[in-house]
Amino acid sequence: MKHTIIFFLLTRELVKSQFLVNTTATSASEIFDGFVSFSIEFSSFPDFAGNNSHPNTFSDNLLENIKHLTGTKPYIRVGGNTQDYALYNASLPYALNGTFDPKRSLDYPTTIYIGPSYFESYNTWKDVKFSHGFNLGLGANTSAGWQTLLDTVPLACKALSGGKFYLWGYGNEPDLFSTAAQGPVRPPSWNESTYVWQWHNGTRTMHALLQQHCPDLAHESQYGYMAPSHGGVGNRLKAHVSWAAGLNNDRNIKLYSTHNYISGATTPGVTLQSTLLNHTVTARSINAQAAEYARILSLDPATAPPPIFGETNSLYNQGRPGLSNTFGAALWVVDFNLYAASKGFKRVHMHQGTNYRYASWQPIETNITNIGTKPPYYGNIATAAALGKHGNVEVVAVPLRYHREAAYAVYHDGILSRVVVINMRGYNTTIGGEGLIALPNPPKRGSVEYVFQLAGFERGSSVNVNVAVGGKQKVKIQRLTANGSDAITGISWDGWSYNYELDEGRPVKLGNVTTGEEVEVDGEGRVKVGVEDSSAALLVF
């Protein structure tokens, strides 16, 4: 079934209502450097980063690839549910002693001791800034937890001195402390007021410890947190209520950090097409987060810190096989990230953990998951390529017509630089959509032709500073492709593979993918591009 839909734009009115792309940015807001960033589960951090004697160079190669595209190494937030289980044991001879309790989680340990060598993992990646997440769950609830805070602030601050410090975290998803599926760590009376009280008690203690052990990091120019790190906007505790109750009265929350998942791994009705490959669903999820941030902004615009997604991914409870680990999820990553940028989020930390189904990469070999670059990583790469290296980057969502497609205009210094088109119509080439066994006769792959009218384009003018060849605007096309939305391997970005088995995650140009395509902007300022179902195209002006 081939459905070529041509949106040919006849009048300026129609253009305005549908596929107008301004050549200069109008209302977008600038994103931060390192927009493509990661969050790493506290208990998995030694796996991802390694230690002094065994640095994880595969992970570092994957982070370097992003730096190559954006000019900045991703920022790394170390935290997650397991940060609130971690206690310190000074005589533990290795980084982490984790004990699993299948009743609480099959995916990560819920009884955790860390030793001094845990902090070696902050040494292994060059040019990376880190956020270390301290334990509030047990920290303000048990004496061993409180002692852990006193013991580990000096270790963490020493590990992050010398240019590696990003921000601190204190408590992961405190909005879920009294209701967590993995076991509550607070009584039902837990509310925003008790949270704020405990936050002040802990953070003021941390500040005093920093003054004593790492005075540089206690200085106002460095000292700060990402918070409240809520699990979502629909939970019992509300971020704006904590804010109103004085959470940021010490003015040390430098980034408003919120967490987001589109749905759950085992939530009934979740499918690749209707949940992840559906722009309406992604937009709704981010819009709800933007609305909560707007409430905080309205309390006091002068002191509200900028918003980021400090932890996010597709489906909570570590993702679902056949959805979160497919090429379809890579397309979702691009849509989620660019839409977040268009709604004012300054940075996005995609959450990672060992054996997690939604992970961008598996950092070590385990008996559950092979070491390797996973499909979502290609979404991180495509996002990084779309944003590019430029200093001032803004993203505007271009409204399209259907749920299963999305487009974004990217501006550098206010001038149109790229257009991203994501065709999220599902396409399977394997039996049962499992990504394993190829269908003997796959269906014909559909393709959609998109036409964008560049508003503000003047005949003969140069759309932007990058390209003006022989009076004609040539536009370079780069593609994010795989055999289908169900593919779990064989994915490429502009013909590059970053797979572990090729060169440990360093880029390798594939011989079987067409690259180097170009199209022209016509005399009326229109540019046309065909995009196959389950793929994305980047137009580079």
Ligand X SMILES: *[C@@H]1O[C@H](CO)[C@@H](O)[C@H](O)[C@H]1NC(C)=O
Catalytic residues: 192, 311
- Residue 93 or 163 with smaller CB distance to ligand X: 93
Helix (H) or strand (E) holding 454, with range, is strand 447-455
Radius of gyration of the chain (CA): 23
Q: In the complex, what is the shortest distance from the CB of residue 51 to ligand X, in angstroms, rounded to a whole number? A: 4
Question: CA-to-CA distance for 478 and 518, rounded, in angstroms?
Answer: 9
Provide DSSP, 333-401. HHHHHHHHHHTT---EEEEE-TT-TT-SEE-S--SSS-SEE-HHHHHHHHHHHHH-S-SSEEEEEEP-S
Strands (E), 104-152: 111-114, 130-134
Q: How far is the CB of 92 from ligand X (least distance, A)?
A: 4
Dist. CA 195–CA 201, nearest whole Å: 10
Closer residue to ligand X (CB): 432 or 523? 432
Question: How many Å separate Cα 306 from the centre of its chain?
Answer: 16
State the minimum distance, in angstroms, from the CB of residue 471 to ligand X.
25
C-alpha separations of 23 from 8, 202, 231, 302, 471 in Å: 19, 49, 37, 31, 17
Query: What is the Cα–Cα distance from 218 to 352, expressed in whole angstroms?
Result: 29
Please choose, from the candidates 214, 230, 244, 94, the residue with its C-alpha nearest in 3D space to the C-alpha of residue 174: 230
Distance CA 278, CA 329 (A): 11
Minimum gap (Å) between residue 13 Cβ and ligand X: 13
Q: How far is the CB of 484 from ligand X (least distance, A)?
A: 8
Residues 294, 304: Cα–Cα separation, whole Å: 10
Cβ nearer to ligand X, comparing 162 with 188: 188
Q: Give residues with Cβ within 8 angstroms of 441, minimum separation 6.
A: none
In whole angstroms, how close is the CB of 6 to ligand X at the nearest point?
A: 20
Other beta carbons within 10 Å of 480: 28
What's the distance, CA 461 to chain centroid?
A: 36
Identify which of residues 175 and 486 has a Cβ nearer to ligand X in the complex: 486
Q: How far is the CB of 470 from ligand X (least distance, A)?
A: 28
Residue 198 C-beta: closest distance to ligand X, Å: 7
* DSSP summary character for residue 44: G
Residues ≥6 apart with Cβ < 8 Å to 263? 270, 275, 315, 316
- Identity of the amino acid at 328: G
CB closest to ligand X, residue no: 433
Cβ-contact 305, 254 below 8 angstroms:
yes
Q: Which is closer to ligand X, CB of 308 or CB of 448?
A: 448
Shortest Cβ distance from residue 295 to ligand X (Å)?
Answer: 14
Helix, strand and coil content of the chain, in percent to the nearest 5, comes to 30, 25, 45
Cβ distance to ligand X smaller for residue 227 or 308 = 227
Alpha carbon distance 537, 15 (integer Å):
21
Answer whether 410's CB lies under 8 Å from 363's CB. Answer: no
Report the alpha-carbon distance of residue 534 to residue 325 in Å, rounded. Answer: 15
Q: How far apart are CA 79 and CA 330, in angstroms?
A: 23
Smaller CB separation from ligand X, 210 or 308: 210
Closer residue to ligand X (CB): 111 or 298? 111
Site residues (vs ligand X, CB under 6 A):
20-22, 26, 51, 53-54, 89, 91-95, 97, 99, 111, 113, 117, 140-142, 146, 184-187, 191-193, 201, 241, 245, 271, 273-274, 278, 280-281, 367, 396, 398, 403-404, 426-428, 432-433, 438, 455, 483, 486, 489-490, 510, 512
Query: Any idea how long the chain is?
Result: 541
The amino acid sitting at 280 is T
User: Smallest distance, Å, CB 39 to ligand X?
Assistant: 22
Looking at the Cβ atoms of 75 and 358, the one nearer to ligand X is 358
Q: Which is nearer to ligand X, 6 or 106 (CB)?
A: 106
